[in-house]
Amino acid sequence: MKTIIVMPVANEADTMSAVIEQILALPYADLHLYPVVDDYSKDATADIIRSYEHTGRVKCIYYKESKGVVSCYLEGFRQALLDGADQVIEMDGGGSHRPDEIKLFMDELARGHDCVWGSRFTQGGEVTGQPLYRRILSNGGTILANTVLGTKLKDMTSGFEAFRADVLKGMDLNAFLSTGHMYQTEMRYYCRNYNTIEVPIHYTGSSSSLKLHSVTEALSILGKLKSNEKLVMKKENA
């Protein structure tokens, strides 16, 4: 099974080599890494990624048309599908997600799950290095999303997740509404009828602030997801 990790990265030169080395050291011969970069990255991140392309398991995706991290996720998915991925894992490249926890996602995909969601708030999950207000927003966002959308997940906003390729093939990736934090909730909502499971992850946050427009965008999009689902999910999956 060919598994491709999609990982938007920017200005990660200090840690990029270590992350790549950890992923390549995992005991999966057909595990590949597709870091996605754009012009926002001003340091040597892209050069470091390209220095590993000789392994045949790392491919630097430069996305000139990027409109932010969500567009990089979606472009990474497109490239992974074009390159014959059977499974796709989405994770952060800045140290928030632990490469050693990739095994949790691989195991659940092997057990037949269509989607595997990383959860900070299920039993065994943990959050460190994140301001209290960000944790409150994440928990509150999950409660609100579950209430409005009828979902029942412990964590609706985590960016560590995995999919069978057929799940992504069944979506119009150009029809997603979100450009920011709401994307994770949007994805989980559209996938709610698949065979899914949450796995506990250890998330390391940062002190970066959450802009007001991200919150207002999330609230605005929340009310549009049910109607937009018909555009995202292709007819054969509707």
pLDDT per position as a tens digit, 59-77: 999 999 999 999 999 999 9
Q: What is the 3-state secondary structure (H, E, C) of 27-42?
A: CCCCEEEEEEECCCCC
Start-end of CATH 3.90.550.10 domains in the chain = 1-95
- Strands 115-119 and 161-164 turn out to be antiparallel
Show the low-confidence residues of the chain (pLDDT under 50). Answer: 238
- Rounded CA separation 35/155 (Å): 24
Q: Top-level CATH class of 1-95? A: alpha beta
CB 58 within 8 A of CB 32: yes
**pLDDT value for 238:** 44
**pLDDT value for 207:** 55
**pLDDT value for 179:** 87
Please give the helix or strand (H or E) that residue 164 lies within, else none.
strand 161-164
CB 5 within 8 A of CB 31: yes
**pLDDT value for 92:** 93
**pLDDT value for 94:** 85
- Rounded CA separation 122/125 (Å): 5
**pLDDT value for 178:** 92
**pLDDT value for 219:** 82
